[in-house]
Amino acid sequence: MSGALNLLVGLAMGLNLLALGSSRLPSIIRAAAFQGMILGVLPLLLGHGFHWAAVLVAAGTMAVKGFVIPVLLQRALRAANIDREVEPLIGFIPSLLIGAGATIGAVALAGALPLRPEHAGSLLVPGAFATLVSGFLLLMGRTKAISQVCGYLLLENGIYLFGMLLIRATPLIVEAGILLDLTVAVFVIGIIVDRIQREFDTLDTRKLTSLHE
Amino acid sequence: MTTALAIVLRLAVWLLLAPLVPGIINKVKAWVAGRRGPPVLQLYYDLGKLWRKGVVLSTAVSPGHIAGPAVAWVAILGAALLLPLGPGGAALSFRGDALLFIYLLAVARFCTACAALDTGSAFEGMGAAREVSYAVLAEAAVITALLTLGVQTGSVSLAQMLAPSAGAGAALLAAGLFTVLLAENCRVPFDDPNTHLELTMIHEVMVLDHSGPPLAVILHGASLKLLLFAVLLVEAVLPIGELPPVAAAGAMVGAICGVAVGVGLVESLLARLAFRGVPLLLTTAFLLCLFALLAAWKGSQEEAGKARRAAVPAAATSGSREASTPTSATAVRELLRLGQPRAGASKRQCISPVAVACACPKPFARLARQVRLDRIALDVSDGPRLLIGVAHVGVPVIFRPEPAPPLQNFVRLMGRELFPRLNDLAHRNLVHLQQDMNVVGHDDPCAQPVALTMKEAQRVFHHSGHRFLTQVARAPALVEVGFKLQTSLPVDFDLEKMHPFAAEFGGKTINKPERDELREPRLVAVRQITALVPATKARLGVFVRNRRRPLALARDEVAQTGIVWRLRETPSGAVAHGAIEARGGQGCKLLEAEWRAAVPAAETSPKQVGQTSAATAASALPATATIPSAPGVGTLLRLGQPRTAAWKGAGA
């Protein structure tokens, strides 16, 4: 069971790098969505029996992160008629290397942390750190609003992964609230993307630097 | 003689079989394209034809132009001889031959590039530049892959590194090495071996000016390199060394053919990458190998951890058994054997492992501090001459450190407390209130009960009550130094622990007995250190409380003196310890009576202990609970304090 868990978290860590290294927007969206679906399976693997709350959380997460949010993003992409190219501020190879360094650093950091014995062997904590850093990199290093949304999704995935440590203590309502927030946020960003596109004819967030009436 | 024969045999295998691999690849490509294709042995015919031809040399070249391919060929052949051939083993094998392997490949590349540059043609110079710039990334990947195997097997000899399977990261390693194979042999996503015209070609452009036998050597060397990387890939991934010889040979031949077919399929189905995309792919290969290395490293670390966990409990039980029956005589003997404090400090490093790793979480910083935790060296330079560092295993007293601070700062760095010199300690008065130091004066070491009192800090939802813990311990020495660290990075995600009284609002009891406290992540094991000081020094002022005169303690009174605690404010503002409490003989006897009363109760159930001790505590020491602690065993019992709300719940 721990092996399957570690495999899935490792896959999610690989998807971080895929998102950092890919040069097309749809593939970043797909990577974030796939990662969300992988993370959705985790509550079922974490043990504590086959509980209906865990199943509900898993199903909800997979549905929202795997289908609803990517569809929203794809629609925004289509509606705004954006180029599919990612314009990086930090190049692909540097971001890949930083991401890999962050992953290794996360593993080392998790080794140094005084974790509970049942969490010490798992990749949950390093995976969470690595995903957080990758999300931040994607947020900082890409100019297009859609790729920044994907960075935000990755960030949320990292926090979700961290929340797996608390799976027993977190009530279902919190999970549901987070998912709802996420969906609404992506929905709103989809609208904003459309507005930016109409206003500036581009999605480059570098132009959004000053406030006007 | 047999060695020479073995080398010659393996040379023949490498030399004769190498040109077969490009033939298989070409056959696969032709099959995918629906052609009949050249025969599998085509490269043999080409080599024979080229060998018979003459050499056409440019007037601009130096002899290095001919020597380059020859040296490269020999270097590749040498690298090939280092690789084990499945069950046959390597022709040459020694410790560290993995390094030689990498360097031989680099020498081959250097010679090919040099020979290309030697022609003076800009075209070939460009090819050499590209070859070398790709090699920077590909070489990093190869080195990482070999490092992975080295970490996996703990060896630097290729024969041992390649024998078992690559373990956890085998798939990653296979993908990385396959990409490197394509890049190093100038195969399709990186280069097109069939083209001789495009400006983006790499390897073929370097050999444009070679002809005749040098070209044959180059072609043969290229096929040798392809076979070499295929063998490396296959042996790294498959557990060739663990199979029976026939199966291993079959598996190897089959897997190499599979690699060749894979290369052919890749060449047929993929287009060559854009020039800018190549570094990205090579970086990906490097990262794949890097993550395989990470997986191998994690795996070896876990194994080491398992071994350590298996070893430590044994040491811990033996240590506690020693500690449970310490006599003052043995302690003193050990003290004398260990000699001077400063010299002894280093010697004592190797006395006994104390069960720290399994009893408490690792300190945040690093192993060095963890080591220091259980072997505290008394730094006493000037001052009392009799003072010797503690040698006996002591009573491992586990203090309950400060509880987890409020939520907003639950992560913070480990605090450090300097160990005061005992000379200062002897003359300490009220000005020095910042140290947590428990001192018992005595000039006649024997087993005696020592009471430790501690007051728990406040917690969330717990503003009014204080909790006192009293621990009865046996210490055969004179000075007890309580050593307290701040909680080391208390990352505790157990909400019940962070809000211990949250259940009060739900009307449930909070007085749950807690067992196995040592596994709590925010507990820090604290070693108790005892040392000998002259009784005269001890009388000088250690036991000053408030403005009372120094106690002139008689011989028998000293044994019954209580523990001195001093108030101390922690950075977070919580009170860490109780007030100074020097008890006379009466208090100590009372404590002992409590202890005797509590011990049988402790054997029945923790809840009863709480009640008993609270009952006695309520009569004798308000807000104090007595903790019986079996000497030498590092257990910590936490008992309920007489808090009305709590006891209501317990009673109900």
- Cβ–Cβ below 8 Å for A114 and B364: yes
Q: B565, B579 in Cβ contact below 8 A? A: yes
Distance in angstroms (rounded) separating the CA atoms of residues B88 and B103: 24
Mean pLDDT within A141-167? 85
Q: With CB atoms and an 8 Å threshold, state whether B521 touches A169.
A: no
- Asked if B136 is an interface residue toward chain A (Cβ–Cβ < 8 A), one would say no
Within 8 A of B489 by CB-CB distance, chain A residues are 113-114
Q: A169, B493: Cβ pair inside 8 Å?
A: yes
Instruction: Pick B586 or A139 by higher pLDDT.
Output: A139
Beta carbons of A96 and B283 less than 8 Å apart: yes
* B23 pLDDT higher than 90: yes
Q: Output the furthest CA–CA distance in chain B (Å, rounded).
A: 112
Residue A81 has phi, psi (to 5 degrees) of 55, 60
What is the CB neighbour count within 10 angstroms for residue A140?
A: 12
> Which residues in chain A are contacts of B363 at CB distance < 8 A?
114
Q: Which residues of B touch A107 (CB under 8 A)?
A: 294, 298
Q: Give yes or no for B287 touching A (CB within 8 A).
A: yes
> How confident is the model over B115-135, as pLDDT tens digits?
999 988 888 888 899 889 889
The whole-number pLDDT of residue B257 equals 95
The answer to whether the complex's ipTM is over 0.90 is no
Q: Is the pLDDT of residue B103 over 90?
A: yes
| A121:B287 CB<8 A | no
Per the CB < 8 Å rule, is B364 touching A113?
yes
Report the distance separating Cα B331 and Cα B347, nearest Å. Answer: 16
List pLDDT tens digits, range A97-121.
999 999 989 988 988 888 877 777 7
Bridge partners of residue B474, in order along the sequence: B449
Whole-number pLDDT of residue B400: 53
Q: Provide, as residue numbers in chain A, all residues whose Cβ is less than 8 Å from the Cβ of B290.
A: 100, 104
pLDDT band at residue B199, thresholds of 50, 70 and 90? Answer: low
Token digits of residue B599? 């011990």
Residues B573-602 pLDDT 10s: 333 333 333 334 444 444 445 555 555 544
Q: What is the pTM of this model?
A: 0.59
In chain A, the percentage of residues whose pLDDT exceeds 90 is: 19
Strand-strand pairing, B467-475 and B625-627? parallel
Chain A residue at shortest CA distance from B302: A121
Residue B505 has pLDDT above 50, yes or no: no
Mean pLDDT is lowest, of A161-170, B341-350, B489-498, for: B341-350
The answer to which of B21-35, B94-108, B449-463 has the lowest mean pLDDT is B449-463
Q: What is the mean pLDDT of chain B?
A: 64
Tell me the mean pLDDT in the region B6-13. Answer: 90
pLDDT at residue B187 is higher than 80? yes
More confident residue, B623 or B234: B234
Q: Which of B100-109, B126-135, B602-611 has the lowest mean pLDDT?
A: B602-611
Q: For A121, which residue in chain B has the nearest alpha carbon?
A: B302
Rounded-to-integer distance, Cα A172 and Cα A44, Å = 14
Band (B101; pLDDT cuts 50, 70, 90) = very high
Which of B298, B361, B363 has its CB closest to that of A107?
A: B298
Nearest to B302 among A103, A116, A121 (CB): A121
Q: What distance in Å separates residue B105's CA from the closest CA in chain A?
A: 25
- CB–CB contact A96 B287 (8 Å): yes
The helix/strand/coil state of B554 is coil
B497 touches chain A (CB under 8 A): no
CB-based contact B641:B468 (threshold 8 Å): yes
Residue B312, pLDDT score:
57
Residues of A in contact with B283 (CB under 8 A): 21, 93, 96-97
pLDDT at A31: 93
Band of residue B374 on the pLDDT scale cut at 50, 70, 90: very low
pLDDT at B428 over 60: no
What is each CA distance from B351 to A188, B305, B308, in whole angstroms?
65, 22, 17
Of B298, B489, B522, which has the smallest distance from its Cβ to A113's Cβ? B489
Residue B364 and residue A112: Cβ atoms within 8 Å? yes
The 10s digit of each residue's pLDDT in B302-320 is 777 777 767 655 444 444 4
Asked if the model's pLDDT at residue B414 lies above 60, the reply is: no
What percent of the residues of chain B are helix, what percent strand, and what percent coil, each to the nearest 5?
55, 5, 40
pLDDT of residue A4: 83
pLDDT value at residue B341: 40
**Chain A interface disruption, residue of B284, B286, B293, B516, most A CBs within 10 A:** B284
Q: What is the mean pLDDT of residues B34-54?
A: 92
Higher pLDDT, B217 or B208: B217
Interval B482-493 mean pLDDT: 45
Provide the pairing of β-strand B479-481 with B529-531.
antiparallel
**Predicted confidence (pLDDT) per residue in B330-364, tens digit:** 444 444 444 334 333 333 333 333 333 333 334 44
Instruction: Test B493 with A103 for CB contact under 8 angstroms.
Output: no
CA distances in angstroms from A66 to A124, A144, A182, listed in the order given: 20, 21, 12
Task: Report pLDDT digits (tens) over A34-58.
Answer: 999 998 888 887 766 667 777 887 8
Query: What is the DSSP secondary structure assignment for residue A85, as one 8-state letter?
Result: B
Is residue B497 very low, low, confident or very high in pLDDT (cuts 50, 70, 90)?
low
Q: So what's the pLDDT on residue B272?
A: 83
* Residue B487 in this model has a pLDDT that exceeds 70: no
Give the pLDDT mean for A61-79: 86
Q: Is B301 on the interface with A (CB under 8 A)?
A: yes
Q: Is the pLDDT of residue B73 over 90?
A: yes
Instruction: With beta carbons less than 8 A apart as the criterion, state whether B563 and B436 touch.
Output: no
Q: Which residues of A touch B365 (CB under 8 A)?
A: 112
Helix (H) or strand (E) holding B452: strand B448-456
- Pick from A199, A175, A42, A207: which is nearest to A119 by CA? A42
Distance CA A187, CA A73 (A): 8
In angstroms, the CA B23 to CA B43 distance is 7
Please judge whether B489 and A107 are an interchain contact, meaning their C-beta atoms are less than 8 angstroms apart.
no
